[in-house]
Structure formats: structure tokens, C-alpha cells
Amino acid sequence: MIFSPKKIFLELFKTNLYIVVIVVVFFLWLFDVSLTSTIFLSTIFILLLVSTLSFFVSRSIAKPLEEMVESAKMFSKGDFLGRIKTSGAQEINSLAFSLNEMARQLNDRIKTITVQKNENDAILFGMSEGLVATNRSNEIIKINDRLRDFFDLSDNVLGHDIRTVIRNKSFLDFYEELVSLKLIKKIESRMEDLNKKTLLCSGVILTDQDGEFMGTVVIVNDITKITALEKVRKEFVANVSHELKTPLTALKGYFETLRDVDNKKDRIHFLNILERQIARMDSIVNDLLELSRLEEQEGKSGLSFSSVNILNLVDDAIKECKFLALKKEIKIELASNVEISFRLNKRLVQEALVNLIQNGIQYSNVNSKIIVSCSVESNQLILEVEDFGIGMKKTEIENIFKRFYCIDKSHSKEIGGTGLGLSIVKHIVGLHRGEIKVETQLGRGSKFTILIPEKQRFVRSVIRND
């Protein structure tokens, strides 16, 4: 037979009690105490002894149990750091060990879950996409700030039916289609003009291990810029095709005509036309390459700046355009004589000025003039090109910087304009963190003003007298 420590203790307690009783009775008899008194005194003594022993025994058992109760209360409140001390009987020690091990495992699991939750929250709220998850009752169980921004939602939408929170019809149609599938499948839908944005919604159904519907996860992407780029790309391809097709068609026609021309004078005439068309194609290709280089440079910090004499820069730009101006008997005037040193990219700014002057020549009448000026105000370089040509409508100002946009196609073809010059100017000004302004009046002319902020302090020099 196997005895536990508790049983052994009880057996010893009983045996020792019998011995104590015999010893007490013997001493009472030895001192000639009556039987009644002996029994009475023995009973009192035994009761006192039993009470004393019971008190100490109960305390030795109750104290560890009380500690376990207190520890269990701490565990129930989420405090798993405390530990129960092991003392007393083996059964109590085993129970204490089990509770301590349970607390340790719970603490480790809670830490793991907390880390995973923090990681998930960091991913969720760091996403550039909007995300919302719903349960089988269509109630929102997870949502990030990005999606709230897309649909102008408040912070307290958790637990609400998504169909009552997001009222956009396109989204609701998409969501109803998603829920109706009841199977794991990804669907997409594009929403146009939502707060001036184009959004792409992608959704999947969540199911349990038995294939039962559990909820949905919807991802919303802002594809406004991508859509705009797609539109620009399509327009660009269409415009390039059109602009290149025109001179190519002309070249083909004139080449066919040349085959049947015997007259030297007529042959030279057609060859001159061919030369102009080839030059036009060359200009278009060169301008496209320049635009591509400028766009590639945007967002980079590699643009080189140096201190440039602005008056000399303007002089060089005017000289570059003089031959074109002479063909229309247009006079180009420089309205400034104060030399200014300013930090900028000389090649690009001179190219911008040349394009503006050529644009003025293109849309000016014969025997007209163009005024070019430069100055510095409020730490900004100001370059102005004013013509007195045909001008334009106010509504056309927002379009003139678009690629291949020409106010008057006949003027453009006459002097070989590509429709890319002002677009190049805008990109160059943008690379200098500047801005370009336009003042115009139909039939009276236009004035283009370039404003470039300083990179370093400019230095004024002497007044030129020539």
C-alpha cells in the first residue's frame, strides 16, 4: 500500500495521540487521582492538544491556498508576472507549479499576440491603399485611415453595417456583387469622380474551413495619377502620330511630284519644300527628346546651377532669334540695361527665353516688335517677353502649355512650330522651382513672365550704357 504524505501525517498524529492519552492517564493514576477526574482532565488536555495541532496543520495548508487564490485573482486581471511560492504538501506544490506554468504560457502567448497585432496595425495604417474588412453580418471589423479619407468617414464606424456607412452608389454596387458571390474570388471595380479621384476597388470573400461565408476584405487604390498618365500617354501618341504624319504625307507627295518634274526651277521649289518638312520633323523629334530629358530631370537634384550674367544671357537668346524675326521684319528690343548675376542653369533658361521669343514671332504680324526685359524684385529673377501679335482668349491660357497645342495651326505650319515650345518652357521653369504667368488680350498681344526664386544671393553690377 502507498501512503501519501498527508495520510502518513494523519496516521502518525493518531498513533501519537494514543501514546499521549496513555501517558496522561498513567500520571493521573500515579498521583492517585480519581477515575472521573482522570477522564475529565484527560479529555480537556486532549481537546487542547488537538485544537493546537489542528490550528498549525490548517495554517500550513490554508496559507499556500490563500496565496494561490490571490495569485489567481492577479492572473484574472491580466497580471501574469507574479509567481506562487512552492511550500507544504506535494499536492499543493504540484498545484502551484501548474498554476505558475499556466501563467507563464499565457503571458508568452499574450506577448506574441500583442506583437502580431502591433505588426498588423503598423502594416494596416501604413498602407497607401485603403482597406476595410467586414464580418458575415456586413459589420466593419477593421478599417484604416486611408479608406476613411477616401469616403470622408468618421472614426467610430467599427461595428456598423458598411452599407449604411459608405453611401457611394458605385461602391455599394461593387460590394453587393462581391457579397453575392459567396465564394473565394477577387473582383475589381473602378469608381470615377469620387471627390475628384478615380478609385479602383478590389475585394475577396473570406470563408471558414467548411467553406461558409465569413466576411469580406476590400482594398481601395487611388489610381487618379495613373489614369491621368494613361490619358496623357494616349493623347501623346495620338498627337505625335498626327504631327509626324503631316510632314511624312507631304514628303511622300512631293517626292512623287518630283518624279514627273523636268523643270529645274520647279524641282528646286519642291526640294525647298521637302527641306522644310524634314526640318519640321527634325524639330519635333528634338523637342520631344528635350521634353523627355526635362521630365526625367524632375524630382532629381542633379541640375547644375552657376552664377550667370542675365543681361548677356538675354542678349544671346535675342541673337539666336534674329534671323527668324528678320524674315517677318519684326524688331526685338531689350528693355533692360542693369547687369544682374543670378544662380541658375544657363542653357535651360536661355532655351526657355528662345522658345518664348520664337512663340512671340510666330503669333505676331509683319513689321511688329517684341520687348524682352529682365529685373530682380523680392529676391526673384523676372524675365518678360511681350509681343503685340494676335493674342488669345482667356480660356486658352490653361491649354497653351500642353504638348502640341497651337492657337493657330496655319501660323505653326508656316514657320515650322512644333507645339512643344511652351511645354518645354513650363518644364524648365518648374526645374528652377519658379512659375510662369501669362497676360493676354485678343488682338492686342501677350506677355509671358518667368519668375525664378534665388538659389543664392544675387549681385547687381554696373549699368550698361550701350
Instruction: Write out pLDDT tens, residues 43-69.
Output: 666 666 666 666 555 555 666 666 777
Q: For residue 222, which phi and psi values (nearest 5 degrees)?
A: -85, 105
CATH 3.30.450.20 fits 127-222, yes or no: yes
Do 361 and 321 form a contact (C-beta atoms < 8 A)? yes
Domain definitions of the chain by residue range? 5-107, 127-222, 228-297, 306-463
User: What is the per-residue pLDDT across 2-41, written as a single tens digit (0 to 9) for each?
Assistant: 444 444 444 545 555 555 555 555 555 555 545 556 566 5
Q: Is 103 exposed, middle or buried (0-12, 13-18, 19+ CB in 10 A)?
A: buried
Amino acid 26: pLDDT: 59
- CA 124 to centroid of chain Cα atoms: 13
Amino acid 456: pLDDT: 43
Angstrom distances, CA of residue 86 to CA of 75, 91, 104, 361: 17, 10, 16, 100
CA dihedral of 400, 351, 320, 458, whole degrees rounded to 10: 120
CATH architecture of 306-463: 2-Layer Sandwich (3.30)
| 3-state class (DSSP) for residue 389 | coil
Q: How far apart are CA 124 and CA 201, in angstroms?
A: 16
- CB atoms inside a 10 Å sphere around CB 382: 19
Q: Is 55 exposed, middle or buried (0-12, 13-18, 19+ CB in 10 A)?
A: exposed
Sort strands 369-377 and 331-334 into parallel, antiparallel or unpaired: parallel
Amino acid 385: pLDDT: 94
Cell 488536555 appears where?
45
Q: For residue 378, which phi and psi values (nearest 5 degrees)?
A: 50, 45
Task: Give me the tens of pLDDT residue by residue for the chain, a chain 466 residues long.
Answer: 444 444 444 454 555 555 555 555 555 555 554 555 656 655 666 666 666 666 555 555 666 666 777 777 777 777 766 666 666 566 667 777 777 777 788 888 888 888 887 777 777 777 778 899 999 899 999 988 888 888 888 888 899 999 999 988 888 888 988 888 765 556 667 776 666 788 888 888 888 888 888 889 999 988 888 877 777 777 666 666 666 666 677 677 767 777 777 777 777 777 777 777 677 677 667 767 776 776 666 655 567 888 889 999 999 999 988 888 888 899 999 988 778 889 888 888 998 998 899 889 988 889 999 999 999 888 889 999 999 988 888 878 878 887 767 665 554 555 456 677 788 888 888 888 899 999 988 888 899 999 998 864 444 444 444 4
- Grid cell, residue 236, equals 501623346
Do 418 and 287 form a contact (C-beta atoms < 8 A)? yes
Tell me which of 2.40.160.10, 3.30.70.920, 1.10.287.130, 2.30.30.230 is the CATH number of domain 228-297.
1.10.287.130
Q: Which of 431, 336, 446, 461 is nearest to 392 (CA)?
A: 446
Q: Which of 204, 223, 191 is nearest to 132 (CA)?
A: 204
Tell me which DSSP letter residue 353 carries. Answer: H
Amino acid 459: pLDDT: 43
Do 239 and 190 form a contact (C-beta atoms < 8 A)? no
DSSP string, 243-272: HHHHHHHHHHHHHHHHHT---HHHHHHHHH
Q: Which of 423, 434, 435, 433 is nearest to 399 (CA)?
A: 423
